[in-house]
Amino acid sequence: MLFASHQQKEFIPLDFVQITLYTIPMIRAVKLSTKFLTAAKSQAVEAVLQRQRGTIQKYIDKFWDVGARLDKATLDSVPKGRLSARYRGIALNQAIGVMGSTRKAARALGKVPGKPDFRKSLLLPDHVAHVELDRQKSGSAFDVWVKLSVIRKGYPVWLPFKATKPLRKWLSKPGAVLKPGCCLSERFMILWIEIPELPAKADGFDLGMDVGLNKLVAFSDGTSLGREIKVLCRKVARRKPGSTGKRQAMKERADYINRTLNQIPWASIKMLAVEKLRNLKRGKKPTRNKSFRKAIAPWTYAYVLERAQMKAAENRVLVVEVSPSYTSQTCPECGHRARQSRNNERFSCVRCGHADDADIVGARNILAKALGEHMVPRLF
């Protein structure tokens, strides 16, 4: 039987075990299509987007090397043109955010940041793009309306949208609230729904999960899911960067990850233990040779953990992050730790002879850490 329940025991966490307990804020994004806009409304949206993008780029060009502050002097440093102070303030705020995120991403990758060329969607606050879900218009087939303040004061444009299944799903949750503002582009609009955090479940079983390259996830009960992930990662790696084929392959990989994680019986789990994986694609350790870096490049372990944490939050499952140290080198039966016990996908303890799939062993040790069991060599 898949995901058999574990016997529950009481353990006291040990000081040497690094454990992080947390919950994910329940904020969910939904995308609505702009395909129902008339030609006139589409032109109004394009006009706002083009002018805002141009202004954002001007702020980036001017302050990329010196940095910018959100004040009147900075705001007035770029010609006003036909934009109001309100729209220029939005542009300056987003320009500062884009510059900051670009530098942060470059630091994380150990690269020199390059000045961004802004062509993205716009983040618009409520006083510029006011969203209404219950606006009644006789004979209308639309569920969502956005009052978009355009360049001409006093002449707003009402943009119609049809509600999607995800939007209805999240709004149906107890206490769900639509957050003000939206993200707008020529092809779509994104809304955000905030859902109150719920207490973790008291009933269910505990499960350890190991994220891998050859199979997406392995579990402490001896099961695993996602054996096609390696093929999809290779497909992503073969595609030319920036090409349509690359984007399609990445979407196929993301869809596969989501379908696989949906197979986990979240309703029966009380606690999910995972490794606290950080910066696996960086550094020059002896084990991280060229072949390793090539294999790991298309691996999206961070995305897998992020999606798993989101599913856990939706199902009131407590997520426990533990240190990954020695989880793949320790025998879950006798507690002996040795690098020689791990041989690619197989684990065979050099002391007691216990043999199993290496990822399953890792998942068992991850759960043991989360429960506070010993994860150090034992003396006999």
Q: For the segment 344-365, what is each residue's pLDDT rounded down to a tens digit? A: 889 999 999 999 999 999 999 9
pTM of this structure: 0.70
Query: Strand, coil or helix: what is 372?
Result: coil
CA 243 and chain centroid, separation: 23
Q: Check: CB of residue 123 under 8 Å from CB of residue 29.
A: no
Is residue 275 in a domain?
yes
What phi and psi values does residue 16 have, to the nearest 5 degrees? -80, -5
The answer as to whether 14 is a domain residue is no
Q: How confident is the model at residue 278 (pLDDT cuts 50, 70, 90)?
A: low
β-pair type (177-178, 188-195): antiparallel
| Residues 229/216, Cβ–Cβ less than 8 Å | yes
CA distance 21 to 319: 6
Cα 152 from Cα 201, distance rounded (Å): 52
- Are 75 and 51 in a shared domain? yes
Domain region containing 225: 19-25+199-371
Q: Which amino acid is at 153?
A: K
174 with 224, same domain: the answer is no
Residues 239, 156 share a domain: no
User: How do residues 334-349 score in pLDDT, each as one tens digit?
Assistant: 889 999 999 888 999 9
Q: Which two tokens stand for residue 274?
A: 């995972």
Q: In what order do the strands lie in the sheet with 269-275?
A: 19-22, 318-322, 269-275, 205-211, 217-219, 224-225
Which domain-ending residue is among 162, 195, 228?
Answer: 195
User: Which of these ranges, 13-27, 80-94, 225-239, has the smallest mean pLDDT?
Assistant: 13-27
Question: Which tokens go with 248?
Answer: 């399609």
In the numeric block, the tokens 């994680």 are attached to: 261
Q: Is residue 224 part of a domain?
A: yes
**Is pLDDT above 70 for 3?**
no
